[in-house]
Structure 1
Amino acid sequence: MSTDTRAPLWQLDACALGAAYRTGALTPLAVLDAHLERLNMVQPLINAMACVDADGARHAATASTERWRQGRPLSALDGVPMTVKDNIQLAGLPCRWGSRLWQDHRPAVDESPVARLRAAGAVFLGKTAVPEFTLQGYTDSPLTGVTRNPWDAALTPGGSSGGAVAALAAGVGVLALGTDGGGSIRRPAGHTGLYGFKPGWNVVPREQGLPEVLPGLEVIGPMARHARDLPLAMAVIGGTVPGAWRAAEAASQPLRIAYWRHIAGSPVDADVLARCDAAAQQLCELGHTVEVTEAPADIQAFNQQAWPVISTTGLAHVLRDAPRAADELSPALAAMWACGEAWRATDLFEAQAVVRRLERALEKVFSAHDLVLTPCSAALPWPADESHPPVIDAQPVDGRGHAVFTAFVNATGLPAMALPAGRAGHLPVGVQLVAPAGGDALLLALGLQWEQSGGSANEWPLWP
């Protein structure tokens, strides 16, 4: 991709910005101004930001501009505007978790991935909106209200990283930092035509964060409009081994890919499957082998038996010392809290046993295949103020019917990536690739190959 500084500055990716900063064709201050102008234009339409820190961003961009002038940038992300999800602590800014219970929380320190990005010179525009306690698959909270999809403002961008993807897809920030505890990066990225990367467990070290609401499942990862920006982000947040992410720069070898079109026969929108089938064909044209196979039954067992226990007991744990919770929670979260309080220790033990069986089943999958391909979501985006689609492919579904393809990845600590797979009508569709443990760089390499082969177009929402 060439560095075309004639394009609107908010459309340039991190690689292009670095090249332009290096030659002096652009400065971080000029780029920040373009992003703030874009933010002011789109925020009233999509409500993606939980708070904006224009002064802090300007201070950081000023320092970055001087470093580039002296030829001493801190990293490839020096001067690159980005956003941070509002369940990740950024010193001095509110971190409200979408909840009235946390509306006064203003941390004094950065969570460790944010600290690494700050030390690398990134410019933080502010915090992006989340649903309450980041536990729903759409983005609406008592504090920020409904967040909307820039491809169709009547529809949701998904959740819980809904504010992150809505801002990014609309041109606010070059990268977005989010969390993924059950698909919260990958499904929203798919709904908005973005790349979203869920690292493997402990690949991105975390300290100084909020309490764990999904213990052992949630990780921090980046979202981007271009695959080539993801290795730049992971080189900063993904551990401390020098050169650990250089493998992502190499073209991937021919791979054996298992393609799961359904989970135990669960419904998937026909338009979603059509785009995923086309993606499978494109992967074949890139030299990979794609085989349609059945997903292990243990995935459905996890979705039905283990996820409800793990997700709600985590919430109950977070709220155990919150006497005002009953008055401050929305009805949906109050119901989840009640469920979490009702489970027994033996129920949690059984859920953990389901996870162990799932791990063994996936070991068998990856003994025969290098990657797994699935849709990111079983459904296209639905109305922005509704928590989930009640019907998929003419079949009634529960609140997790759209999310059947993602949470098993979190339960087993595997890396996964959302790739943009074109559009169904005017709405983006994403596909998910899952790798075995340690396959993070392999996924990033395949993302680069996908982008370079024309797997996604540099398209933008049609407004404003």
Structure 2
Amino acid sequence: MPGDKAIDPSAFTALTLAGLYRTGALSPLEAARACLNRIARLNPRLNAIIALDEAGALAAAARSEARWREGRPTGPLDGVPLTVKDNIPVAGLPCRWGSPAWPEGPATVDELPVARLRTGGAVILGKTNVPEFTLEGYTDNALFGPTGNPWNPRLTPGGSSGGAVAAVASGMGPLALGTDGGGSIRRPASHAGLVGLKPTPGRVPRGNGLPAILLDLEVIGPIARTVADTALLLAAIAGPAAEDPASYGLPPLDLPAPPRLRIRYVPRFGASPVDPGIAASVAMAARRLEALGHAVEEGPVPFDPETVLPIFPAIAGAGLAWLLGNLPGEPSPASPALAAMARVGREAGAPALFAALDAMAGLRRAMGLFLARNCDAILTPAAAALPWPAHESHPPVIDGQPAGPRGHAVFTNFANLAGLPAIALPCDPVAGLPVGFQLVAAPGAEAALLAVAAEYEVAHPWADRWPALS
């Protein structure tokens, strides 16, 4: 824990902070200063935040303090400090996307979810580190270097929202805005002992953002220590917007959830290896959900993982090649892996991309039918491996078996490809490191996911687990 909960605001959740502001027991300026002090002490070790806006944060906190004093806060997050991932534009702050190939200079406008948060009075502390073009599952780049996991700074927090989870897990701010294009919120959340939600495409509308090199696979979503904070941040950034036609027609977030869910528990995908400690921890989570009254049935996923696996790299490679081809001088990524991805994307051409899109459309139809007929949610590990050394892109071996660059990430990208919401929750740690499981549901079913997540959290709380950072 950052310190004594009675005196250290960086230990409080967003919900607690808002309650203290309401009673006058704490001010937004005090909370902002506590987070900034925490950043000054720990960020040199973790490298979570790569652009800090201390003056802007203190000014926003002062304005929030005046509103609370006058009894007119603009929303439930008024005065709550948070960070924003560095592939989401924030006006006045750099947005480097982790790449020397991306143009320098501050963003001129907020992306839509940031604008909503700013209107609601949230205090933006700064931008968090990412891998280059947010296309790898760890957090390191040629501009800012690697981010460390607060539970062991020599290890990675995963990616691509690695800086975001490192900031929240270490107490630099209670909330973070991340993105998830193939598991980039859920896997890092699992590596850091946090809650991470990947919404349905359109639930959090996009506008004034970076080029969509992953189409609608990548969505903006919340990262927090508790389910209640996750729901609070999601509500603040969700809702229809003219900029994003996909934002219309989704069920409301306050839709009552079924009291008991039918859950398909999938412990592994085919022959892909899973760390045995993770497998045991997630199996325990499945039993705990069953003890809460949910109908948990073990079985396979309703698709061939080997067939689905190539879809994501085909889309990502084409998107990256398109992006680089439209930049002055057609620069190459600093990462050799991404340079190779872009080259393959260029050479594969339109037929390969169309084949991937057609396969993705088929997966969406199949998953829609499966979740309508067979179950309400799918339960899997959030990641197949424990955190590995921070400067390495992936663990080469999992449970004694060779694993490729996406071996640790095998469980997550089907939710992105199928357009499904998913939430990652902490389960029992392994060897002193956090572990998480995910629940994936039908499009628009965030309310059901949050409801079962909240029920699980009450029965098996995790919010008091803090890394031993001094």
Q: Which TM-score tier does this pair reach, normalised by the shorter chain?
A: over 0.9
Give the match for residue 132 of structure 2.
Answer: 132
Equivalent AA in structure 2 for residue 356 of structure 1: A
Give the match for residue 11 of structure 2.
Answer: 11
SS for the counterpart of 2:325 is coil
Equivalent AA in structure 2 for residue 147 of structure 1: T
Mark the CA change 1:299 to 1:26 in structure 2 (over 3 Å): closer, same or farther.
Answer: same
SS for the counterpart of 2:149 is coil
What TM-score do you get using the length of structure 1 for normalisation?
0.96
CA distance in structure 1 between the aligned counterparts of 2:385 and 2:83, rounded to whole angstroms: 26
Pair 1:283 & 2:284 matched: no
Give the match for residue 259 of structure 1.
Answer: 265
Equivalent AA in structure 1 for residue 163 of structure 2: G
Give the match for residue 244 of structure 1.
Answer: 252
Structure 1, unaligned stretches of length 5 or more? none
SS for the counterpart of 1:145 is coil
Q: Give CA-to-partner distance per residue, 1:140-184, whole Å, 9 cap, x none.
A: 011110101000111100000000001110001111001100000
For residue 359 of structure 1, report the CA deviation from its aligned partner: 2.0
Root-mean-square deviation (Å): 1.7
Give yes or no for contact 1:78–1:120 (8 Å, CA) kept in 2.
Answer: yes
Give the match for residue 454 of structure 1.
Answer: 460
SS for the counterpart of 1:197 is strand
For residue 279 of structure 1, report the CA deviation from its aligned partner: 0.4
For residue 332 of structure 1, report the CA deviation from its aligned partner: 2.2
Regions of 4+ moved over 6 Å: none
Give the match for residue 73 of structure 1.
Answer: 73
CA distance in structure 1 between the aligned counterparts of 2:161 and 2:154, rounded to whole angstroms: 18
Give yes or no for contact 1:263–1:404 (8 Å, CA) kept in 2.
Answer: yes
SS for the counterpart of 1:208 is coil
Structure 2, unaligned stretches of length 5 or more? 241-247
CA distance in structure 1 between the aligned counterparts of 2:304 and 2:75, rounded to whole angstroms: 43
Q: Give CA-to-partner distance per residue, 1:100-149, whole Å, 9 cap, x none.
A: 12251311110000000000000000000000000000000111101010
Among 287, 312, 315, the alignment partner of 2:317 is 312
Give yes or no for contact 1:157–1:191 (8 Å, CA) kept in 2.
Answer: yes
Q: Give CA-to-partner distance per residue, 1:338-368, whole Å, 9 cap, x none.
A: 1111112111121122212322331343111
For residue 325 of structure 1, report the CA deviation from its aligned partner: 4.5
Give yes or no for contact 1:51–1:128 (8 Å, CA) kept in 2.
Answer: yes
Pair 1:85 & 2:90 matched: no
CA distance in structure 2 between the aligned counterparts of 1:418 and 1:151, rounded to whole angstroms: 18
CA distance in structure 2 between the aligned counterparts of 1:405 and 1:327, rounded to whole angstroms: 30
Give yes or no for contact 1:298–1:361 (8 Å, CA) kept in 2.
Answer: no
Matches within 5 A, 1:187-206: 187-206=187-206
Give yes or no for contact 1:101–1:324 (8 Å, CA) kept in 2.
Answer: no
Among 433, 436, 442, the alignment partner of 1:430 is 436
Matches within 5 A, 1:21-60: 21-60=21-60
Give yes or no for contact 1:109–1:208 (8 Å, CA) kept in 2.
Answer: yes
SS for the counterpart of 2:216 is coil
What TM-score do you get using the length of structure 2 for normalisation?
0.94
Pair 1:117 & 2:84 matched: no
CA distance in structure 2 between the aligned counterparts of 1:183 and 1:46, rounded to whole angstroms: 22
SS for the counterpart of 2:206 is coil
CA distance in structure 2 between the aligned counterparts of 1:323 and 1:335, rounded to whole angstroms: 19
Q: How many residues align?
A: 458
Give the match for residue 182 of structure 1.
Answer: 182
CA distance in structure 2 between the aligned counterparts of 1:204 and 1:171, rounded to whole angstroms: 25
Matches within 5 A, 1:341-420: 341-366=346-371, 367-420=373-426
Mark the CA change 1:446 to 1:370 in structure 2 (over 3 Å): closer, same or farther.
Answer: same
CA distance in structure 2 between the aligned counterparts of 1:452 and 1:192, rounded to whole angstroms: 19
Q: Give CA-to-partner distance per residue, 1:52-94, whole Å, 9 cap, x none.
A: 0000000000000000001110111000000000000000000
Identity %: 51
Give the match for residue 245 of structure 2.
Answer: none
Q: Give CA-to-partner distance per residue, 1:254-278, whole Å, 9 cap, x none.
A: 1110011111221100011011001
